[in-house]
Every structure is written in structure tokens, then in C-alpha cells.
Amino acid sequence: MMEKAGGRERMRIFFTGVGGQGTLTATNLLARTALDAGVDVVAGEVHGMAQRGGVVESVMLLGGWRSPRLDLGEADILLGFEPLETLRGLPYLRHGGAVFSSSDPLPPLSVALGKAAYPPLEVIEEKVRARAGRCLFVPCREMGARAGSVQSGNTVLLSVACASGVLPFGVDALEAAIRKFLPARLQEVNLKALALGRELVEHSDVG
């Protein structure tokens, strides 16, 4: 269960993806969103590889934590920008936590090198749903392309998480952060991606 501190709800979020996707940029945007919404934030990179295809993990703790430490089984929310990395990051999620993940495979370096096999998406979803209380897989790259940029699929996923009601702020706060913190040239496509994420949740049964 999420912890309380001084009457505030404390929440731990685990992000995972592969290098080149913008996982850390998405973490930073959501952290700025939370700060502007008046929520105490601690964020940090757990593990990252500079080369494209390497696993990238980060954490964001909301509500008054002192350090960005996250142990196995502690995350309340898992945001996965690549389905296999979502599966690999699953041990960090507490039983009954929420998972929002891309359903579009972007095979990690280990798979590209033939050191690991990529399981069917159905297998990944089954294992995730067995641990998560709430779960939604989103075709992020496809929806990002619809918005005008595959990379904006990350914003689709953030929007889905905000619209789901599990965070202490909603899509309006994310929209304000996009307008405030992203360069003007990136705002239109990301606002379109945000709208697509919100619409997806409105027409989905998240669970």
C-alpha cells in the first residue's frame, strides 16, 4: 500500500525502457509536472547505458522521500516504455500496483545480439497482469506516429498514467508542464500525443 507521511500520500514510480527512447526525458517531464502541481519529488537514474538499445531505468518518488531509493517490490506504479523491459522491471512493482506499458516491441541489445529471446506479447501481458492490480498496454509508437512523431509516444504513456487517476495530479498538469518546459517546436506534437492518451483512457477499462 502507498505510505502516508504528514497526511500526504507517498508514491514510488519505476520507469524502464531502452536507450534512445527518451525514458529519462519522460521521467524529467513527469517530475517537473509533479513539482509544478505542488507535490514533493525526488527522482534519479537507477541504471542507464548510453548506447542505443541498452536498458535505462529511473525512479521518481512523490510525497516527501529523502532519497530516490527503490527496492524490489516497492514501486506503486511501473511505467514501461518497452514491453520486454516492463517484464524485466516487474519485480520492482509491489503486488497489486499499477502498470502502464508500451505494447510496441523495440528489441533490446541482448535480443539483437542473440543472447536473449523475445517472448510473445501475450506472455508478457499475462505475467504483468498476474502481479498488477491495474494494467494497460498502449501502442505508444503507433500513437506517437499518429500525433506526428514516434518519440511523442512517451507523452502518450505519461498522459495515460495521468488520466488513469493513480497520480496526485491529472492530465491538465501534464499539459501545463509541456507548455512550460518543452521547446516551442515540440509542443504541438506532444499536446496531440497527450490528447490521444487521454482519449484512450476515456474509452478503456483500465484493469
In this prediction, residue 107 carries a pLDDT of: 79
Residue with grid cell 529511473, as numbered in its chain:
58
Residues of the chain with pLDDT under 50: 1-8, 50, 207
In this prediction, residue 206 carries a pLDDT of: 58
Q: In this structure, is residue 54 part of a structural domain?
A: yes
Q: Which residues, including other chains, have CB under 8 Å from residue 28's CB and lie 6 or more apart?
A: 43
| Residues of the domain holding 91 | 7-140+157-179
In this prediction, residue 45 carries a pLDDT of: 74
Q: Which pLDDT tens digit goes with each residue over 18-70?
A: 876 778 889 999 999 999 999 999 988 765 554 555 678 899 999 988 777 88
CATH label of the domain that carries residue 170: 3.40.920.10
Q: In this structure, is residue 198 part of a structural domain?
A: no
Cα gap 165→140, rounded to integer Å: 19
In this prediction, residue 6 carries a pLDDT of: 39
Q: In this structure, is residue 186 part of a structural domain?
A: no
Tell me the DSSP string of 66-91: SS----TT-EEEEEESSHHHHHHHGG
In this prediction, residue 46 carries a pLDDT of: 66
pTM: predicted TM-score of the whole model, two decimal places: 0.89
The number of distinct structural domains making up the chain is 1
Tell me the DSSP string of 26-39: HHHHHHHHHHHTT-
Q: Report residue 186: phi and psi, to 5°.
A: -100, -10
Query: Residue type for 44, please?
Result: G
Beta bridge mates, 61: 12, 42
